[in-house]
Amino acid sequence: MKRVARAAAFAALTMSASMTVAADFPQPLAEEPVPSVAELPASYPDSWIFVHDFHGNSLIDARGVIVDVAADNNNVRGQIPISHFGSITPSPTRSEIYVGETFYSRQTRGERTDVITVWDTKTLTPKGEIVLPGGKRGQFVTLVNSLQLTNNDKWAMIFNFTPGSSVTVVDLDSRAVVSEVDLPGCSLIYPTGARGFASLCADGTMTSIALDAQGKPGATVTSEAFNDIDSDPLFMTPAMVGRTGWFVSFKGNLRAIDFSGEAAKVLGSFPIPAQSGGTPEWRPGGWQVISADRAGLLYVLMNPKGGEGSHKDGGTEAWVIDPVAKTLVRRITLKNHSISVEATQQAKPLLVASRPDGSLDVYDAVTGAFVRTVASVAHTPITMTAVRR
């Protein structure tokens, strides 16, 4: 008790001298309960996005940041950890968030454990984890297509790289591994049809693998070669319009792939209408360079200093493309050099551009008007995933 009294004395000593109560506030502020921990809605509003903070200077301490880009303040709503070169994929229908990650028993050394951690959207607490065998989870600067869902979000598929490629399929209900599918020469996961996935291959083709009800690989369909990897490769992350993925190439050609069927169907391609003023030319640039709104308009982050090797340099404008009319609808001049773009799936979409300094700039996607900056959201805001339903 003596110590408590002493602490109280200390507290009393630090009080300011004036103790007069202002007449306008007859009652003091109410006492507040402890402990008190915030909760989120189980289903997030469509103005929220997941920002993957890759954390360049502390790769083991990456995290996903949940951000409301439409609010005037209180924009950062929560964070969940994502270890070294991990992946984050939300499932709105299951009210869960999945994180593919790797732990060591002594943080950077010792025994390796790969897992998919299951997070509850409402409490942001881990509900469980699925241990992935073999220590083969692929580690690279995060791409959203490294961890994807299929089978009505009943299964997760995670990409392995050893440097041999494979995909591990896990059941999210039983939290058990269902199967592992070898994927020689192909990379990443683009869900197809009801149950299965496609993958982009080093020979320029796309391979589609259907999964049976037990998760075992069934028919494999390989497309014609369409990805000119040598001279004009596609960025790996498409903008999804329904089940159609819109990929953009280093040189600004747009390519649609229909993932609605059991096998991916490679559709047509058209160039972003050329614009003058580039030095030497306008090209897509950044990390996640293309996004789509609910109406199907595409937003491409463009770099005026386009050339060989410029593809990760970010951009200064977002170009709005109507892929049906094949027209450039609008050029949005960004306030700041940006590295990734994502459109919200609101009826009136917002366009979010992430900056190298960790802040997000938010634009009215319809008018291109700057709306706000959400400052210092992340150390390295490398990918963004808008809430989708």
Partner 1 sequence: MSGLDKFSEKMTRRVARATSRRSLLTLIGGALTGAAVIPVLPVSRAQAQGHGGGGGADPIAPQTTGNPQDPGDQTKCDYWRYCAIDGFLCSCCGGSASTCPPGTEMSPITWIGTCMNPADNRAYIISYNDCCGRSACGRCSCNRNEGDRPMVRPQANNDINWCLGTASAIYNCSTAVILGVALEQK
Cβ of 361: how many Cβ atoms within 10 Å?
21
Subset of residues 42 to 101 that bind its own copies, contact rule: CB under 8 A: 55, 57-58, 60-61, 81, 83
- Between CA 204 and CA 114 the distance in angstroms is 30
- Between CA 90 and CA 178 the distance in angstroms is 20
When CB distances are held under 5 to 8 angstroms depending on the partner's kind, the choice from partner 1, its own copies, none that residue 163 binds is partner 1
Contacts of 241 (CB under 8 A, 6+ apart): 292, 296, 298, 323
Select from 25-33, 88-96, 215-223, 272-280 the region that touches partner 1 (CB under 8 A).
25-33
Specify the residue, 95 or 102, whose C-beta has the smaller distance to partner 1.
102
Subset of residues 178 to 207 that bind partner 1, contact rule: CB under 8 A: 184-188, 200-202
Select from 17-25, 105-113, 154-162, 323-331 the region that touches its own copies (CB under 8 A).
105-113
- Classify residue 303 by its DSSP letter: E
Which of 78, 126, 204, 233 lies at the binding interface for its own copies (CB under 8 A)? 126
Using CB under 8 A as the binding criterion, the count of chain residues that bind its own copies stands at 17
When CB distances are held under 5 to 8 angstroms depending on the partner's kind, the choice from its own copies, partner 1, none that residue 103 binds is its own copies
Q: Any contact of residue 105 with its own copies (CB under 8 A)? A: yes
Do 362 and 350 form a contact (C-beta atoms < 8 A)? yes
Specify the residue, 61 or 171, whose C-beta has the smaller distance to its own copies.
61
Which of 44, 197, 246, 287 lies at the binding interface for partner 1 (CB under 8 A)? 287
Mapped onto helix, strand or coil, the DSSP state of residue 319 is strand
Subset of residues 74 to 93 that bind partner 1, contact rule: CB under 8 A: 74-81, 84-85
Cβ of 316: how many Cβ atoms within 10 Å?
18
Cβ of 264: how many Cβ atoms within 10 Å?
27
Q: Give the C-alpha distances (Å, rounded to integers) separating 188 from 100, 159, 183, 307, 323.
A: 14, 6, 9, 26, 24
Residue 99's DSSP bridge partners are 88, 117
Q: Any contact of residue 134 with partner 1 (CB under 8 A)? A: no
Do 321 and 275 form a contact (C-beta atoms < 8 A)? no
Specify the residue, 147 or 365, whose C-beta has the smaller distance to its own copies.
147
When CB distances are held under 5 to 8 angstroms depending on the partner's kind, the choice from its own copies, partner 1, none that residue 73 binds is partner 1
Residue 255's DSSP bridge partners are 247, 269
Contacts of 176 (CB under 8 A, 6+ apart): 130, 170
Which of 106, 173, 279, 325 lies at the binding interface for its own copies (CB under 8 A)? 106
Site string for partner 1, 142-181 (x = CB under 8 A): -x-----------------xxxxx----------------
- Between CA 155 and CA 170 the distance in angstroms is 5
Which of 42, 357, 367, 388 lies at the binding interface for partner 1 (CB under 8 A)? 357
When CB distances are held under 5 to 8 angstroms depending on the partner's kind, the choice from its own copies, partner 1, none that residue 231 binds is none
Q: If we measure between CA atoms, which residue out of 144, 200, 194, 133 comes closest to residue 169? A: 133
Which of 43, 93, 125, 269 lies at the binding interface for partner 1 (CB under 8 A)? 125
Structure tokens at 241: 């319009």
- Nearest approach in angstroms of CB 137 to partner 1 is 9
Q: If we measure between CA atoms, which residue out of 387, 351, 389 comes closest to residue 88? A: 387
Subset of residues 28 to 47 that bind partner 1, contact rule: CB under 8 A: 28-40
Tell me whether strands 244-248 and 253-258 are parallel, antiparallel or unpaired.
antiparallel
Q: Any contact of residue 284 with partner 1 (CB under 8 A)? A: no
Subset of residues 363 to 382 that bind its own copies, contact rule: CB under 8 A: 379
Which of 221, 311, 319, 341 lies at the binding interface for partner 1 (CB under 8 A)? 311
Positions in the binding site for its own copies (CB under 8 A): 55, 57-58, 60-61, 81, 83, 103, 105-109, 117, 126, 129, 379
